[in-house]
Structure formats: structure tokens, C-alpha cells
């Protein structure tokens, strides 16, 4: 999209101004965060997270402390942003418990139905608009999986296929207390690789709790790195 001056923008018809805003937001995740009402997202704290998500790398690992707006950016804003770019995507929002993913989807639906969002992008509610799944009405392909589906560590998606899996807060203090419980999360991660399309994207977002948690497994077994200190950006991961 070409850059235009404020004078040029002001000279446009209101409908054309909306078109400019719409295309800009589809290209800039940081601005989309603010458009959706997350003013605490800032360049100093979140630029690395934004950069990671905006990259076309198929494996992404973001590890930051709790309270860093990681879920607001990665599990709420990011799927909205990606579906605006490609409404035919099939996205799985996955978490430690199914209810957490449902909470993220509820926030997504609230954004979709807000007056501000619809003034720019229109009403995207499709034929499926449920607690655990939605289909946007801009989809042009006949696909069995919804646009967004919710999941949890205790659930399996047999026969489903996804273009993007967002694993947000898989680990907690509770399921990281023992190696056996932590291994259950690792096994879930490994299973999900089977339902991810070969060219699909897996985003892991979380906080470190133990060396045996999923992030520890990824760092030690996949990336062959030493334990990453809590609060440091995890960067990109690729197991291929």
C-alpha cells in the first residue's frame, strides 16, 4: 500500500478513507492491537512479540512473564488479523484448559460485533457462531473446519486439519509440578503437529514454570539451547 499524506487522506471520500484504514490495519499488527482497544501494547515492551508474529516463519515461540498482554496480542488480536488477510484460514486456539480458549474466542467475537470494528470491516458473523467455534462470512472455500476452533490439552481434534495452531499458556504451576504432568503437555504438542498442515504455522505463547515444561522441551530437545530465563523473548523456533 502506497504511503499517502494527511492532506491526501483528508481529501478522500469517507468510504475511501475507510478503505485506506482497512488496508493499513490488515498489514500492521501493532496498529490492529490499538484499534481493538489494547492501548498498553507499546513498542518498547512488545515489538519483539509483534515482530515474531508478523514473520512468515512456520514455528514461533514467545516466552514472557504473566501480565505482558501476550494473550491479548497472540491469542485474540493475531487470529483476527490473520483472518482479515486470509478468510479461508483454519485456526485452532489451544490452551491448558478448553475454557481458556473459549474465553479468548468470546473476546474475539466481541471485537467482531463492536461498532468500531464493523464500521471499518463490516459484520463478519457467518453461519457458525458458537461458544467454541466460528466461521467468518468472508470465507470463500468449502472447508469442514471452522475459521476458529477452541481446544485444550485434555481434548483431541481427530480428523481435523489446521493452518495455524496457537498454543497459549499450555503450562501452569499445577501441570508443571512433576515431570509426568509436564510430559502430558509435551505429548499434546506432539499430537497437534499431526493435525497441522505441512506448511502450517504453530505459535507457542507462554511463561516458564520448570525445565520440564513444554517451553523447556522445545529449548532443550528441539533448539538444543540452555534454559531461557523468564521474561526474555523466545524468538522463532523451527523443528524442521
| 238 within some domain | no
* Residue 9, pLDDT score: 60
| 30 within some domain | yes
Domain limits for position 201: 8-222
Residues paired with 201 in a beta bridge = 164
DSSP H helical ranges for the chain: 6-10, 14-27, 29-35, 43-54, 70-71, 78-85, 98-113, 115-121, 179-195, 214-217
| 101 within some domain | yes
| 236 within some domain | no
Per-residue pLDDT in tens (0 to 9) along the chain, 240 residues: 455 665 666 676 777 788 889 999 999 999 999 999 999 999 998 999 999 999 999 999 998 877 788 999 999 999 999 999 999 999 999 999 999 999 999 999 999 999 999 999 999 999 999 999 999 999 999 999 999 999 999 888 888 999 999 999 998 888 888 888 889 899 999 999 999 999 999 999 998 888 889 988 888 888 765 544 333 334 544 333
| 23 within some domain | yes
Domains contained in the chain, number: 1
* Residue 4, pLDDT score: 62
The whole-angstrom separation of Cα 240 and Cα 236 is 12
| 171 within some domain | yes
| 32 within some domain | yes
Q: How many helices (H) and strands (E) does the chain have?
A: 10, 7
| CATH classification of the domain holding 124 | 3.40.50
Amino acid at each position: 500500500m502506497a504511503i499517502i499524506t494527511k492532506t491526501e487522506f483528508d481529501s478522500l471520500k469517507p468510504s475511501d478513507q475507510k478503505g485506506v484504514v482497512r488496508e493499513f490495519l490488515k498489514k500492521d499488527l501493532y496498529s490492529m492491537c490499538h484499534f481493538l482497544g489494547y492501548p498498553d501494547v507499546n513498542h518498547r515492551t512488545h515489538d519483539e512479540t509483534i515482530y515474531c508474529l508478523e514473520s512468515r516463519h512456520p514455528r514461533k515461540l514467545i516466552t514472557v512473564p504473566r501480565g505482558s498482554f501476550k494473550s491479548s496480542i497472540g491469542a485474540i488480536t493475531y487470529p483476527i488479523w490473520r483472518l482479515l488477510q486470509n478468510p479461508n484460514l483454519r485456526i485452532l486456539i489451544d490452551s491448558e484448559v478448553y475454557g481458556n480458549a473459549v474465553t479468548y474466542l468470546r473476546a474475539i467475537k466481541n471485537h467482531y460485533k463492536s461498532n468500531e470494528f464493523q464500521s471499518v470491516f463490516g459484520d463478519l458473523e457467518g453461519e457458525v457462531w458458537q461458544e467454541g467455534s466460528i466461521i467468518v462470512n468472508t470465507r470463500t472455500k468449502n472447508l469442514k473446519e471452522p475459521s476458529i476452533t477452541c481446544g485444550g490439552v485434555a481434548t483431541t481434534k481427530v480428523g481435523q486439519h489446521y493452518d495455524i495452531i496457537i498454543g497459549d499458556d499450555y503450562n501452569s504451576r499445577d501441570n508443571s509440578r512433576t515431570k509426568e504432568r509436564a510430559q502430558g503437555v509435551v505429548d499434546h504438542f506432539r499430537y497437534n503437529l499431526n493435525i497441522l498442515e505441512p506448511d502450517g504455522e504453530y505459535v507457542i505463547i507462554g511463561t516458564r514454570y520448570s525445565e520440564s515444561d513444554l517451553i523447556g522441551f522445545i529449548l532443550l530437545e528441539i533448539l538444543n539451547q540452555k534454559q531461557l530465563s523468564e521474561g526474555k523473548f523466545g524468538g522463532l523456533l523451527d523443528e524442521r
